[in-house]
Amino acid sequence: MNLVTAFLVALLAGMVLISFLKGKGKSGVFFAAVLLLAGMSGVPAWQALSGSPVEWIFPGNMVTGEIPLRLDALSAWFILIINLVFLTGGMYGVYYLQARSCTSDPSLTYPNGEGTNSPPLGGPGEVVHYLSFLLLYASLIALSVIQNSLVFLIAWEIMTLSAFMVVIYEHRKAETIKAGINFLVQSHVSVLFLMTGFIWAAVQTGSYDFASLGQLEQLGDLNNSPDNSIVFIILLFFIIGFGIKAGFVPFHTWLPYAHPAAPAHISGIMSGVMIKIGIFGILRMLLILPVDYTVVGYLLLAISLVSGLFGVMQAIVQHNLKKLLAYHSVENIGIIGLGMGIGCIGLGMDNPLIASLGFAGALLHTLNHALFKSLLFFAAGIVYKATHTLDVEHLGGLIKKMPQTAALFLVAAIAICGIPPFNGFISEFIIYSGLYNWILTAPLVPAIIALLMILGLVLIGGLALLCFTKAFGIVFLGSPRKEPDHEIKEPSFGQLLPLYFTGILIAGIGLFPQLFIRMLMEPVTLFTGDTTLIPSTALSELSGVLRSVSFAVWGVVLVTLVVFAIRRVAIKNNKSAIESSAIRNPPSALPTWGCGYTGSSPKLQYTASSFVRSYRKLAAPALLIRQHRKEVSGIFPTGGAYESHAYDKVEKWLIDKPVTALQSFMSRFLFFQNGRLQSYLLYGILFIIALIFIPVIWEQLVWLFDFLKNL
């Protein structure tokens, strides 16, 4: 029995046991299955990442032909990321599903007597969720190694359907079903583009094997023959198909709905690894297709810069915490795309150093984003379970009741902003280094483009800092803006354990970047070839610089902690001395002077909207803000209110308006559906007549055309 067969047997065995077990045993089997599958796929992936690729060839059938499974360094890197996020997400998910006290609609009551939006624990909903989770996991692993286009599309469809099932876990909410269907429809648009690209390539090469895509180079010389346009168009289909899954603008509109609708562990997995399978697909096609890397590089840079800027600009004005994080996924996909674009520019310039920096930064940021974004979604899930809301306008002061969750969220927030000493700084610094090296070696116009990319990346980082200052400050600092009707407390240590593990990895990459940069040499070599001496030396020197920066920042952090510890001890001792003195000489206690104002109200704090009001005014042309006001009047006004809701301009113009136009056009034919049996019988008769006479008429037209042609 080879490893692939053993993997499938373990998957089926786990799914069967989960289906028939009762009680809490199924959650234990579920996580054991995830752990087993991670081990079975992780060991060969680690070997491939170390320079020992593996290949399995299955006979297939008359339709598919041979089915190759190739585990190279690129596949291995993504498999290890998938395993890491699914392990932490699986452990977190078991606890998340058991915490069923959450509800956003207390009127909903189910057979178990609880008001909840989730299916009853242990019921069929939980079983379906676990089974779909395992299928999603297995399909992502399969997509990383399958290199037969037909089988790849089948695995892609399995991934789409299983992701749809886990997204709609809380299917009793209308908005969840709407988000799930939106995801399903746009995912199948992605399938349509991928299918077109694969079929077109198969027609050109006569094979479904990915390796045959390299034969497209035989269509003509890349620089002189117009036949190369076929290769570029095929790549364009792949970029759109995989870009929809990755969430590049303007293909991102499903993402801000699916992430908030899904359970928190699924949101973390979708953002952490599922959208990254789109990145993997683009990288795989770049590795195989004989394209003009310079043209593709500029295309990726343009799409990625727009995605990064648009994603973070939309995130700032969101009030739903998970929707805010969803738009930051679009932003970080843009940053990864910038790295890929720089790598392609380096290949086009025949500069292995720039290519290595670009692809290394993109691949490392793929890992980094998987870590800090899953940690952010997990922390947001804990906030949701504790407070029963994700509206940041209703939160505040949670750091006093949930200090561990607040600290973990803060670590991830610092990391996503690219601030040392955490991992986001490392990957973004590598991408910056690629851009700086490009400026040093490029002519005037490309150098200006590189400078614009640097300015764009700086702007993305600054806006991300603004967004997470708002998010952390409004959610965790200050005072509660709405008094809860229940106790808010930290979850159990078991649920926090995967968050701590992820946080340690975030800090570890920031502190020891050289270990992870060294792991990237094999995947990067696939793109740059064997000329890795200069890139390897440069990346080693770069990792040394990054390590020095991280150690310096950690030194500042430690000194700050020591100062605060000394301050706390001094205050405690001083307080004890004052209290002992007060016993002997009781002073008259007076309140602290409040500058003439003695009242206090949580309503006087910054709201999420007021915090970014200046930004919202500056960015108004790119935003679509819908405001609802209830004006106040009189000497003693009451009942005033103000709400603002951000809407996606891209969704309005590319989704809403075309759909509205289509609905308007189709509504003109509603008279056909008039409810009369006679009309429906007439439609059937007309259809049969058309089937009989259309071929005859067509044959006569063909004869007439041939006759006129002969004349």
Tell me what the mean pLDDT of segment 61-80 comes to. 93
Q: Residue 328's pLDDT is what?
A: 95
Distances (CA, A) of 108 to 88, 103, 297, 682: 31, 8, 52, 47
CB burial readout 156-192, b (16+ within 10 A) else e: bebbbebbbbbbbbbbbbeebeebbebbbebbeebbe
pLDDT at 41 over 90: yes
Cα gap 625→613, rounded to integer Å: 12
Proportion of the chain above pLDDT 70, given as a percent: 88
Per-residue tokens: 486: 């229940």
DSSP 64: T
pLDDT: which is higher, 679 or 42: 42
Cα gap 322→338, rounded to integer Å: 25
Q: Residue 580's pLDDT is what?
A: 61
pLDDT band at 513 (very low <50, low <70, confident <90, very high): confident
Cβ atoms of 498 and 91 within 8 Å: the answer is: yes
Count of helix runs (H) and strand runs (E) in the chain = 25, 4
Length of the chain: 711
Cβ atoms of 439 and 455 within 8 Å: the answer is: no
pLDDT band at 107 (very low <50, low <70, confident <90, very high): very low
Q: Residue 609's pLDDT is what?
A: 83
Tell me what the mean pLDDT of segment 246-253 comes to. 93
State which of 88-102, 164-178, 548-562, 657-671 shows the largest mean pLDDT.
164-178
* pTM greater than 0.85 (yes/no): yes
Q: Residue 518's pLDDT is what?
A: 86
pLDDT band at 671 (very low <50, low <70, confident <90, very high): confident
pLDDT at 73 over 50: yes
Tell me what the mean pLDDT of segment 373-396 comes to. 92
pLDDT: which is higher, 578 or 438: 438
pLDDT in tens, 286-328: 999 988 999 999 999 999 999 999 999 999 999 999 999 999 9
Q: Residue 598's pLDDT is what?
A: 56
How high does pLDDT run on average in the chain?
Answer: 86
Q: Residue 431's pLDDT is what?
A: 95
pLDDT at 115 over 70: no
pLDDT at 532 over 60: no
Tell me what the mean pLDDT of segment 123-129 comes to. 82
pLDDT: which is higher, 577 or 254: 254
Q: Residue 217's pLDDT is what?
A: 63
My answer on whether omega of the bond before 421 falls inside 30° of 0, hence cis, is yes
pLDDT at 101 over 50: no
Q: Residue 589's pLDDT is what?
A: 54
pLDDT band at 122 (very low <50, low <70, confident <90, very high): low
pLDDT at 100 over 60: no
Q: Would you tell me how many other CB atoms lie within 10 Å of the CB of residue 623? A: 18
Tell me what the mean pLDDT of segment 71-97 comes to. 95
Q: Residue 197's pLDDT is what?
A: 93
pLDDT at 7 over 90: yes
Proportion of the chain above pLDDT 90, given as a percent: 53
User: Of the given ranges (232-246, 422-436, 691-705), which has the lowest mean pLDDT?
Assistant: 691-705
- Domain boundaries, given as residue ranges, for the chain: 292-578, 653-710
pLDDT in tens, 552-604: 877 888 888 899 889 888 877 776 666 665 555 555 555 656 565 555 666 67
Cβ atoms of 466 and 615 within 8 Å: the answer is: yes
Q: What type of residue is 100?
A: R
Cα gap 65→42, rounded to integer Å: 28
Q: Token pair 């030396």 is at which residue?
A: 537
CA 427, chain centre distance (Å)? 17
pLDDT: which is higher, 501 or 666: 501
pLDDT band at 114 (very low <50, low <70, confident <90, very high): very low
Q: Residue 613's pLDDT is what?
A: 86
Cβ atoms of 342 and 437 within 8 Å: the answer is: no
Tell me what the mean pLDDT of segment 154-172 comes to. 94
pLDDT: which is higher, 626 or 95: 95
Cα gap 119→109, rounded to integer Å: 11
pLDDT at 113 over 90: no
